[in-house]
Amino acid sequence: MKLFDVYPLNDITITKASGSYVWDENGVQYLDLYGGHAVISIGHTHPHWVQRIEEQIQKISFYSNSVHIPLQKELADKLGKLSGKEDYQLFLVNSGAEANENALKLASFHTNKKKIVAFNKAFHGRTSLALAATDNATIIAPVNETANIDFLPFNDEAALKEYFQNNGHTVAAVIVEAIQGVGGINVATESFLKLVRILCDEHNALFIADEVQCGYGRSGKFFALDYAGVNADIYTMAKGMGNGFPIGGILIAPYIKAKHGMLGTTFGGNHLACAAALAVLEIIERDNLIEMSKQRGMYLINKLKSIDGIDKVRGKGLMIGFNVPEDIKDLRKKLLNDYFIFTGEAKPNIIRLLPALNITRKQVDEFLDTLAEAIEEMKTPVSKGVEENVFQ
């Protein structure tokens, strides 16, 4: 049987990982500035995370949500404390797409309305309604198309006001990433996010903060929305929540009432997933990783701005992007193939940096030095004439 060929693959096989480094089958070491799509939050194979999972698997790895699972309550308590959302409710799932799917469904249940507002360059997942709210026509199948999603320009307050003036009575929810990830590390302005909150309140709509990539401490606050000083009605989470173990969740405001059967999941909130997620929160708290993310991010952004050859450096915390000019458009490939550094991308020529929250200052400097060297090498190739003179 063949694998279904949907992933463009780098010709690399990773066999070992630790902290912010990974190694391939030939023993070559790579610096990981991408964390497998922002998933690695506390470093690869963190000892406490490994221990938590090993201890749990010796007890019980899974039973369904038809019984009490005390680990879920333990996770909810810890998550409420660290996020500052102790009065919210937690529903556990397996992924970011599933989190957004349930958030959108819950908003429609609560408001009894159908219309969802999303934004240009948004990415909310690859399943059904989450995909329909994603601004990428090439991955939306005909069955995913719906008239219930309207896209507006990101950060355009005038367009948002006009839309609500004409359609506010139909809106169930506004879903927005405070920092767009796949879209290219586009940071929402605080005034734009505050306006979303005001308009949702005025029109009985719910504010869904998609924090799947920008949340869980990555931005230098627990949720990137926290910079705007407003609360969402629903927060969606995944990515760094389990440090590689599949888990997602939604935080639900206390005024949104649950009914038996309205949401459900087979694997969400299983014992192993909760153990992994608890380990992540324990390390974030113990090692003050949210503040570390903020400080490392400020240092990295400031240093990047001083490097010639790249532009439009932006982001918050350790969610950073910059534009790569056309003359060095293959910079990401060069960093990987010649300098053994993993980074991410966004179309057309954007590099995304999403390292572990506990990446060291030394590793950040290692990346910065290498980046400058790679850019210099790409901008000053040895000409044929020079090569000939060397060997005459």
Per-residue confidence (pLDDT) for residue 382, from 0 to 100: 57
Per-residue confidence (pLDDT) for residue 384, from 0 to 100: 46
Point out the least confidently predicted range of 337-346, 350-359, 382-391. 382-391
pTM confidence score: 0.95
Nearest to 120 by CA among 37, 206, 186, 191: 186
Per-residue confidence (pLDDT) for residue 379, from 0 to 100: 85
Nearest to 104 by CA among 199, 175, 200: 175
> Each residue of 227-264: pLDDT tens digit?
999 999 999 999 999 999 999 999 999 999 999 999 99
**Bridge partners (DSSP) listed for residue 236:** 210, 250
CA distances for 266 relative to 92, 93, 315, 364, 367, angstroms: 10, 8, 36, 40, 41
Nearest to 348 by CA among 312, 317, 315: 312
Integer Cα distance of 228 and 224 in angstroms: 8
> Each residue of 153-198: pLDDT tens digit?
999 999 999 999 999 999 999 999 999 999 999 999 999 999 999 9
Contacts of 70 (CB under 8 A, 6+ apart): none
Transcribe 166-212 into DSSP letters. Answer: HHGGGEEEEEE-SEETTTTSEEPPHHHHHHHHHHHHHTT-EEEEE-T
Which structural domains are found in the chain, ordered by start?
Answer: 14-38+288-379 (3.90.1150.10), 47-286 (3.40.640.10)
Contact by Cβ (8 Å): 102, 91: yes
